[in-house]
Structure 1
Amino acid sequence: MALLSPSLTNLDLTNIPSLVELPSSFQNLNELEVLRITNCINLETLPTNINLESLYLLDLSGCSQLKIFPNISTTIQGLNLSETGIEEVPWWIENFSKLAYLTMCGCNKLQFVSAFKLKFLSKADFSDCRALSHARWDDSSSAMAMAGDYFILFPDKLLVPDEFRLFMDNCFPKVEFRFTNCPNLDQEALVQQQSIFFRSMVLSGEEVPSYFTHRTTEISLTNIPLLHTSISQQFFKFRACAVVSFDSIDGYNGVCIHVKCQFRGRFGNSIDSFGHQEHFSTTKKDSHLLIFECHILLPKDNAHIAQLNYDHVIMQIHLSKIWFYNRNDYTFKFKGWGIRLFEECSLPQNQLGKPHTLPRVCETDDDNMFDENEECGGTDVVTERSSKQMRVNIKQNRT
């Protein structure tokens, strides 16, 4: 390999079958910002114990003989290890303190993914990892460790339990996970995990998992009884799953999902509240499970609302096609959706129901709960509207 200038900022090495290892002189490339070594099928090792202090993007995709997780910089923000021979994600990945995007698609020797402390992680993609059987982000220890940084910065600030939960919910990044086409993955165990770091997840599948206790395909409306305490909180929280398939694999397909709630009282009074919009995109044609957490912001004067005897909430899901630039010829099919309330949260004030509740699903004809003139947010998307609703009555077990 030719001598590399120490002032080099961008290096791209592609389709070089003779490349087996990188020279140790790589450690002198302290100005290097972007390093792409792709489809070098005989590359086996990278230099160790070096730290390229300016590197923010590392792409090693297609280096199928590379088995050791790269450790050449702790400043990386984007890391692509797709179609490599890497077998595990090591614990010391937490040293990559600025990592925001991790892509390990098609790593067929990867079997297990565990939680790691990455404060800025935004997206993690493990699609097409056919040997992957378990993924875990039981983040209680990670959360406490990360919260410790807050208390170091603000040692005089003591948070009571309610404040601590609000702090954890709003001050740490939410991660988008992808696990499509992982045939050995235990999806039921995956979706049951609770995490303050979870924002959304994409799985392969044709039906809403049984974890979502209230499921439907064509039912039109949901009616969920409210506890007095649930309406007095800042957020109404639940996890949702929509099953969507696309008809094209030529480029990106996408859907925007928006959940709306209408809180209704015994005397016909009502208040509307809206969840944030979730955008999902994929290049795959198969059916997808689009899972996300929804925090519906309640009006500020919650105590007054509780006094007005609001006793149930009606929920409505809206699905909108995302129109990409020069890409609007695809369609999607909505196959059903489901929800799970956060009644099993450890903090009583976050519970939307008591532990011993049984769901009963029934149909209703109340289809015009909201005005249908809204558009999917953002300056670069246009939408086509599709809505499905359901009703769920919750019946209390007697003990």
Structure 2
Amino acid sequence: MEAMSEAELVEKIHALNLRRIDLSYSLHLNETPDLSSARNLEIMVLDGCYSLIKFPKTSWSITELDLGETAIEEVPPAIESLCKLVVLRLDNCRRLKNLPSSICNLTSLTELELHGCSNITKFPDISGDMKYLSLSETAIEELPSSGDYPGASVSICFSGNEIPNWFSGKTDGSSVTIELPPQWCSSKFLGFALCVVVAFDSYRDQGSLGFGCKCSFETYDGDCNDIDCKLCGLDVDYKPRILCSDYVFLLYCHQLYANVVQNDHRFSIYQHCHKASFEFSPQDDDGWPLPNCKVKKCGVCLLLSEEEDRESGDSFNEESGDGFNEIERIGSRSNGGHSEEEDDRNTGRLKENEPKIDARTLWLGQDR
């Protein structure tokens, strides 16, 4: 085939009205032509183009851009002009530095893959509509202070064998029970932070690993209200590997939160519950138990909103008396002067000054 100049190639693309271009594993491709005027182009696949250094200039009409395993070092701030971009894959771009803040202006973006980007040190600015975010094997050490992802489920995984200290409700084995404080059914309720330590014995992660979670809320009369939910774990996009050590999973399940507060009215039957039990079991996407992995420790932490406390604390305190003060003290970590008694409480709040977390993976997803 006779070699074409860049101008001829662009003209050819225009003439064909291409909607998809796939140049994956073009090993000698180090730069793409300016395709900003290719208005019909929707999908561009460049993964495996190991020599590609510059971020491609592409049309505002693009909806999916795959740049995995390229030598790209930076994403330009002008990426915000790709207003229709839904999927951006940058996995295993090991030279890639932190993403520009302008990426939060991509309001259509719902899937961002950055796993294997070992030079990414900062959690990316993302819009509230993000449904899938993969940050496995990055150098990120700290999560956003807000910890607020409405409608999202969160899974963080890293090597280790201890439940973090801020999980005051923790135990050995696959089940844990916590006491619920008075007035926990309020507008301050954010859900439950969950944690499991899993021991892997020559486990081959060819597919997705998740957890079944059986939750039981007990009333003072001994009646129980049960909720079953599924938690994200390791993602199917991982390359198969053998796991032979312990891993810690930090989890948040929006489904569990939604089931508790559905139809609100201060959570109806749950307002009479004083105890909650959680049992965890590793399972695949179809709910089948997984071999060669076992939950050896688990923990639960009741999450309450600090902002609500500050905004409505006085009026709530007048109505609830000492009960409110009890909730206010539980899980407080602001001054480092907490007592051992406070460490034994079953409630915590997300704090800006929490210790940095050595996060290796993070997924945010709607009903994933």
TM-score, L = length of structure 2: 0.68
1:115 corresponds in structure 2 to: 125
Aligned equivalents of 1:311, 1:46: Cα separation in 2: 55
Amino acid at match of 1:291: L
Matched, 1:342 2:303: yes
Aligned equivalents of 1:234, 1:344: Cα separation in 2: 5
Amino acid at match of 1:354: E
User: What is the deviation of 1:259?
Assistant: 3.9
User: What is the deviation of 1:58?
Assistant: 0.7
Aligned equivalents of 2:209, 2:329: Cα separation in 1: 36
Aligned equivalents of 1:101, 1:75: Cα separation in 2: 12
Amino acid at match of 1:353: I
User: What is the deviation of 1:211?
Assistant: 2.0
Aligned equivalents of 2:133, 2:296: Cα separation in 1: 26
User: What is the deviation of 1:113?
Assistant: 1.9
3-state SS, counterpart of residue 346 of structure 1: helix
1:224-235 matches, within 5 Å, as 224-227=179-182, 229-231=183-185
Q: 2:13 aligns with which of 2, 5, 27?
A: 5
Aligned equivalents of 2:290, 2:267: Cα separation in 1: 48
Matched, 1:82 2:82: no
Over residues 74-95 of structure 1, what are the superposed CA-to-partner deviations in whole Å (9 max), with x where a residue is unaligned?
2111111112222111111122
Q: Is the 8 A contact 2:190 2:305 kept in 1?
A: no
3-state SS, counterpart of residue 120 of structure 1: coil
1:194-233 matches, within 5 Å, as 195-196=149-150, 199-205=153-159, 206-218=161-173, 222-227=177-182, 229-231=183-185
3-state SS, counterpart of residue 193 of structure 2: strand
Aligned equivalents of 1:208, 1:276: Cα separation in 2: 21
1:67 corresponds in structure 2 to: 74
Q: Is the 8 A contact 1:242 1:289 kept in 2?
A: yes
Amino acid at match of 1:313: K
Matched, 1:243 2:197: yes
1:1-399 matches, within 5 Å, as 2=4, 3=9, 4-6=12-14, 7-24=17-34, 26-48=35-57, 51-53=59-61, 55-69=62-76, 71=79, 73-84=82-93, 85-116=95-126, 118-129=127-138, 131-136=139-144, 138-139=145-146, 193=147, 195-196=149-150, 199-205=153-159, 206-218=161-173, 222-227=177-182, 229-231=183-185, 237-246=191-200, 247-265=202-220, 268-274=221-227, 276-282=229-235, 283=238, 285=243, 287-293=247-253, 294-295=256-257, 296-297=259-260, 310=272, 312-322=274-284, 330-343=291-304, 345-348=306-309, 353-356=327-330, 358=342, 360=344
Aligned equivalents of 1:342, 1:135: Cα separation in 2: 16
Say how many residue pairs are matched.
296
With over 3 angstroms needed to count, the CA separation of the structure-2 counterparts of 1:40 and 1:240, relative to structure 1, is: same
In structure 2, runs of 5+ residues without a counterpart are 317-323, 331-340, 346-368
Aligned equivalents of 2:83, 2:45: Cα separation in 1: 16
Over residues 155-201 of structure 1, what are the superposed CA-to-partner deviations in whole Å (9 max), with x where a residue is unaligned?
xxxxxxxxxxxxxxxxxxxxxxxxxxxxxxxxxxxxxx455465212
In structure 1, runs of 5+ residues without a counterpart are 140-192, 362-399
| Structure with higher RCO (Cα < 8 A, 6+ apart) | 2
Q: Is the 8 A contact 2:174 2:297 kept in 1?
A: no
Output the aligned Cα RMSD. 3.5
Aligned equivalents of 1:322, 1:253: Cα separation in 2: 6
Over residues 329-348 of structure 1, what are the superposed CA-to-partner deviations in whole Å (9 max), with x where a residue is unaligned?
74421121111122463324
Over residues 188-221 of structure 1, what are the superposed CA-to-partner deviations in whole Å (9 max), with x where a residue is unaligned?
xxxxx45546521222132211121211113855
Aligned equivalents of 2:270, 2:29: Cα separation in 1: 68
User: What is the deviation of 1:127?
Assistant: 1.1
Aligned equivalents of 2:270, 2:84: Cα separation in 1: 49
Over residues 32-72 of structure 1, what are the superposed CA-to-partner deviations in whole Å (9 max), with x where a residue is unaligned?
22111122222121354x5331x211110111244334827
1:153 corresponds in structure 2 to: none
2:351 corresponds in structure 1 to: none
3-state SS, counterpart of residue 46 of structure 2: strand
Aligned equivalents of 1:225, 1:250: Cα separation in 2: 36
1:157 corresponds in structure 2 to: none
Aligned equivalents of 1:223, 1:329: Cα separation in 2: 27
Amino acid at match of 1:297: V
TM-score, L = length of structure 1: 0.63
Amino acid at match of 1:335: K
Aligned equivalents of 1:60, 1:219: Cα separation in 2: 40
With over 3 angstroms needed to count, the CA separation of the structure-2 counterparts of 1:219 and 1:255, relative to structure 1, is: closer
